[in-house]
Amino acid sequence: MNVQIAVEETVLLKEGTKSENLTERLIEEIVEGRIESGSKISEPELAKRFEVSRGPLREAIMRLEGLGLIERIPHVGARVITLSQQKLVELYSVREALEGMAARLAAKHICDEEVAELEKLLGRHSEHIDEVEGASYFHQHGDFDFHYRIIKASQNSQLIHLLCNELYHLLRMYRYQSPRTQSRPESALKEHLFILDAIKNKDEELAELLMRRHISRSKALIEKNLDS
């Protein structure tokens, strides 16, 4: 009996690992637009494409629903989320408030090592912008994302959960798939440098103000497109 339980636990562990890996792959497919916005989720097609059984696939799809990347529509089924301009404005309004708070907390808690790493990161971002002659910023992800690092430095588990899990991939999806006319790489980098300077100087109030203003400017671009 103990051997049987051990075997069952091993199988479940392998299935769970498969599901986690598949979740990451599906996130990137959706974020980068290879699985298109609004497209219907076909379990048989995805199971064949990724060479997995339906169990891990269904678990991965449930996780994507939890992240807001997939929605279930009555009498239609599961579809990839479509980011309307109005939804984006709402998302950026929430982001403005929460990331402003994260910047304030980061100014309070950040250590010298984290500041040094952020300075190196923005240096790499600057080199990238120079290489592409201001055509784009990085499609940042995880530790290569300035905002992600600031949120982590806040040391607030609730903010980290909301911004690095529930909202994060929706924002990445927008960055990848938005028109280049809505990007402002040089200005964004300068604003990042000002925010980091405020955080480095432990100026909590200024860090929050600059972060909120930075995100508000991005929101204004979305609203402008909404009105046009």
Last residue of a domain, one of 63, 80, 97: 80
Is there a single domain that holds both residue 143 and residue 213?
Answer: yes
Q: What is the CATH number of the domain that holds 129?
A: 1.20.120.530
Is there a single domain that holds both residue 214 and residue 109?
Answer: yes
pLDDT-based confidence at residue 9 (cuts at 50, 70, 90): very low
User: Does 213 score more than 60 pLDDT?
Assistant: yes
Higher pLDDT, 31 or 182: 31
pLDDT-based confidence at residue 4 (cuts at 50, 70, 90): very low
Residue 166's domain comprises: 85-227
Is there a single domain that holds both residue 164 and residue 73?
Answer: no
Q: Residue 183 has what DSSP assignment? A: -
Is there a single domain that holds both residue 61 and residue 133?
Answer: no
Is there a single domain that holds both residue 194 and residue 117?
Answer: yes
pLDDT score recorded for residue 44? 93
Is there a single domain that holds both residue 41 and residue 115?
Answer: no
What's the domain count of the chain? 2
Q: Which of 62-71, 101-110, 130-139, 212-221 has the highest mean pLDDT?
A: 101-110
Is there a single domain that holds both residue 153 and residue 57?
Answer: no
Model confidence pLDDT, tens digit, residues 134-191: 555 655 655 558 999 999 999 999 999 999 887 888 888 887 877 655 567 888 899 9
**Average confidence score pLDDT of the chain:** 85
Residue 143 C-alpha from the chain's centroid: 11
pLDDT score recorded for residue 221? 83
Is there a single domain that holds both residue 58 and residue 131?
Answer: no
User: Does 20 score more than 60 pLDDT?
Assistant: yes
- Does the predicted TM-score (pTM) go above 0.85? no
Q: Which long-range contacts (CB under 8 A, 24 or more apart) does 172-181 make?
A: 172/31, 172/139, 172/141, 173/30, 173/31, 173/37, 173/69, 173/81, 173/83, 174/83, 174/88, 174/91, 175/139, 175/140, 176/31, 176/32, 176/33, 176/139, 177/33, 177/37, 177/83, 180/135, 180/136
pLDDT score recorded for residue 174? 84
Mean pLDDT, residues 54-62: 92
Among 4-18, 37-51, 73-87, 134-148, whose mean pLDDT is lowest?
4-18
Last residue of a domain, one of 54, 80, 106: 80
Is there a single domain that holds both residue 170 and residue 219?
Answer: yes
pLDDT score recorded for residue 136? 58
Helix (H, G, I), strand (E, B) or coil at 147: helix
Model confidence pLDDT, tens digit, residues 85-139: 888 899 999 999 999 999 999 999 999 999 999 999 999 988 888 786 655 565 5
Is there a single domain that holds both residue 68 and residue 93?
Answer: no
Higher pLDDT, 220 or 135: 220
Among 10-14, 41-45, 60-64, 79-83, whose mean pLDDT is lowest?
10-14
Mean pLDDT, residues 187-197: 95
Is there a single domain that holds both residue 61 and residue 95?
Answer: no
Interatomic CA distance for residues 153 and 55, integer angstroms: 36
